[in-house]
Amino acid sequence: MTFLIWKREMTLFKKNAMGTIIPGIMLPLIMLFAIGKLLGGIVPFKSSVDYLTYVSSAIVVITIMTTSTFVTGFDHLSDFQFTKNVEELLTSPANILQIVLGKALGITSKSLSGSLVIYAIATLCGAKIINFKPSYLLGFSVLILAGILYSLFTIICALVAPNHDSFVGILNLFVMPQLFFSETFFNIEILGEYKWVLNISPLYHLVRAFRDSILFSIDKWTFISIGVVVIVILLFLSVAKKLIKKRLIN
């Protein structure tokens, strides 16, 4: 049943793919050119890679985040609050876990499409983020985890938000600040003794794991970050299931 729900999401996506991909890549594109390309040649940066490559590796993950939340999120707000499509699914043989996973994987697939576009554009701009080593597969797996994490968060927001404005407010409060707590535009070392603060941001762990994977710098901290992401995903999955059960009872 999870596959059938995912397939339904993909059928809807095919009807308006550009309407999902283009809005999802607009902010990452601005970051790529304004920060990575333009400022990259001006701002002094101490690292084993150039600034464009450093920033691009994070922007690919950010594309997953923005598409999974702000772009596709309104469809799921509608599903849970207005059209009641989820209630219809609950009358089918699918259980709650299958419904949540099917919806989350659908959002993930949509967001991956946008991230691949950014990946290609960044490469054309000169970012050295393509490799054909096994670590590349780990990096792609991290992107999938990113999609699932933010998809589940979006589903939770859609379940708890009473209206459109509240939904947007929750996303702005919890999603956008992560851009500045993720080692996206700067090296964590500049924070000195305060660098531990970044550990509270899921985006930081996703960016670190993805960047390590595609830049051949995998170490134990890469897998620790992946472990943190998996724990957050399991937590979000549990919360989403409980919220749907609560809605059924009420």
pLDDT, tens digit, 9 for 90 and up, residues 184-232: 777 776 666 777 777 888 999 999 999 988 887 888 989 999 999 999 9
- CB neighbours of 248 closer than 8 A, spacing ≥ 6? 90
- CB neighbours of 212 closer than 8 A, spacing ≥ 6? 218, 219, 221, 222
Alpha carbon 84 to its chain's center: 25
| Position 197, amino acid | V
Report the distance separating Cα 76 and Cα 84, nearest Å. Answer: 10
Q: 71-80 pLDDT, tens per residue?
A: 877 666 666 6
Structure token pair of residue 245: 């059960």
Give the relative orientation of helices 164-174 and 134-160 as an angle to the nearest 10 degrees. 140
pLDDT class of 24 with cuts at 50, 70, 90: confident
Number of structural domains found in the chain: 1
Which stretches within 125-185 are classed as H helix?
134-160, 164-174
> In 82-93, which positions are buried (b, 16+ CB within 10 angstroms) versus exposed (e)?
eeeebeebeeee
Of residues 125 and 247, more confidence is placed in 125
Report the distance separating Cα 40 and Cα 43, nearest Å. Answer: 6
pLDDT at 233 over 90: yes
> In 174-213, which positions are buried (b, 16+ CB within 10 angstroms) versus exposed (e)?
ebeebbebbbbbeebeeeeeeeeebeebbbbbbbbbbbbb
Put simply, whether the predicted model's pTM sits higher than 0.85 gets the answer yes
Q: 122-131 pLDDT, tens per residue?
A: 888 888 877 6
Q: Which of 51, 24, 16, 48 lies closest to 35, judged by CA?
A: 51
Domain, as residue range, for 62 = 2-249
